[in-house]
Structure 1
Amino acid sequence: MTLLVLLIALLGLRGLGAVGVRRFATWPAAAAHALAIMLVMTASAHFAPAGVTVMPTHDDLVRMVPPAVPFPSGMVYLTGVLELLGALGLIIPWTRRATGYCLALLFVVLLPANIYATSAEVMLAGEPVSPLWQRIPEQVLYIAVAFWATRGASSLALRGAFHGIPNTESRR
């Protein structure tokens, strides 16, 4: 589901860019915003109460945390906050580059939880987690999109914020 959200958001936002919405005029900028949309969706699960049935809940995600990781509930909340901060950082041009790199690292750090969830046969919202042959390439794709989003973030955006220079993100 998250991959579908990312792809639909990417194509929709880039379509808006094609018809003149400057914020989405480049593929990397559209990718940054699409990834932000996906992160808001996934982060919401980190805070969802047990009664929710349409998406994974906080308790579901706690079961994904490998036993060696301390404070599993706190870690789920922490990663949810990091995902929300990542979403915010992606939509601000002068923070996008650093945010993209940090999110790529976060996606790498979270991969062991996905591997553990598969080996422990954890259920999310009553459904088995994605098999590793699907989940690992999907995680690699999220890492690639996080890096791709950094391509649209130039230091000119930062200089423009402080010196009145217009943001002229390169078209890539």
Structure 2
Amino acid sequence: MAPLIALLTGTALARIAGLLGVPALDAWHPALRVGLALMFVLTGAAHFTSRRSDLITMVPPGLPRPDLLVTLTGVLELAGALALLAPATARWAAAGLALLMLAMFPANVSAARRRLTLGGRPVTPLGARTALQVVFVSAALAVALAG
């Protein structure tokens, strides 16, 4: 739920800043870029903090080096967040992040099917996780396809 809150709050605050006179944020697409960047800073940082072991546990059992995969995806999320903030790279970053989210979704499916408990709580049920994923990928695609 924290990534959704980061996306919505970051977008809303950036849009308000635009309405208050920050020219770079005076439209919904730039504000959405900020919200997505905030979301990916949050999720990317989790790959290197106390949530790291939970994320490693989520990696489907058949994949090699779950620790390396978690590190790689964390680096990609953080790099993508930074690239979202630069207008010249934002569209490509958003497209890449949408693809990354799709590539990582099987880990969420695997975790739900294995009924993992992470951080003392059961993982988000697959239906809710799928709905959230649709929102996140749609937001990234909205940025990637912005004219």
- TM-score > 0.5, shorter chain as reference: yes
Aligned-partner residue type, residue 108 of structure 1: L
SS of corresponding position for 1:106: helix
1:83 corresponds to which of 69, 77, 83: 77
Cα deviation, 1:99-132, whole Å, max 9, x if unaligned, reads 1110110011011001101111122221111111
- The separation in 1 between residues aligned to 2:113 and 2:88, in whole angstroms, is 40
Whichever structure has more helix as a proportion of its residues is 2
- The separation in 1 between residues aligned to 2:25 and 2:125, in whole angstroms, is 33
Aligned-partner residue type, residue 140 of structure 2: A
- The separation in 2 between residues aligned to 1:44 and 1:87, in whole angstroms, is 11
TM-score computed with the length of structure 2 as normaliser: 0.94
SS of corresponding position for 2:21: coil
1:117 pairs with 2:111:
yes
Find the counterpart in structure 2 of residue 59 from structure 1.
Answer: 53
Query: What is the CA-CA distance between 1:80 and the residue it aligns to?
Result: 0.3
TM-score computed with the length of structure 1 as normaliser: 0.81
Find the counterpart in structure 2 of residue 71 from structure 1.
Answer: 65
- The separation in 1 between residues aligned to 2:128 and 2:23, in whole angstroms, is 34
Cα deviation, 1:41-62, whole Å, max 9, x if unaligned, reads 11111001xxx4xxxx111100
Say which one has the larger Rg.
Answer: 1
Query: What is the CA-CA distance between 1:24 and the residue it aligns to?
Result: 1.2
**CA contact 1:121–1:129 (8 Å) conserved in 2:** yes
Find the counterpart in structure 2 of residue 9 from structure 1.
Answer: 10
Find the counterpart in structure 1 of residue 45 from structure 2.
Answer: 44
**RMSD (CA atoms):** 1.2
Aligned-partner residue type, residue 17 of structure 2: L
Aligned-partner residue type, residue 65 of structure 2: F
- The separation in 1 between residues aligned to 2:66 and 2:144, in whole angstroms, is 31
Cα deviation, 1:17-60, whole Å, max 9, x if unaligned, reads 11111121111111111110111111111001xxx4xxxx1111
**CA contact 1:45–1:58 (8 Å) conserved in 2:** yes
Aligned-partner residue type, residue 123 of structure 2: V
2:143 corresponds to which of 135, 149, 170: 149
Aligned-partner residue type, residue 98 of structure 2: A
Find the counterpart in structure 2 of residue 93 from structure 1.
Answer: 87
Query: What is the CA-CA distance between 1:151 and the residue it aligns to?
Result: 4.3
Identical-pair percentage: 40
Gaps of 5+ in 2: none
Gaps of 5+ in 1: 155-172
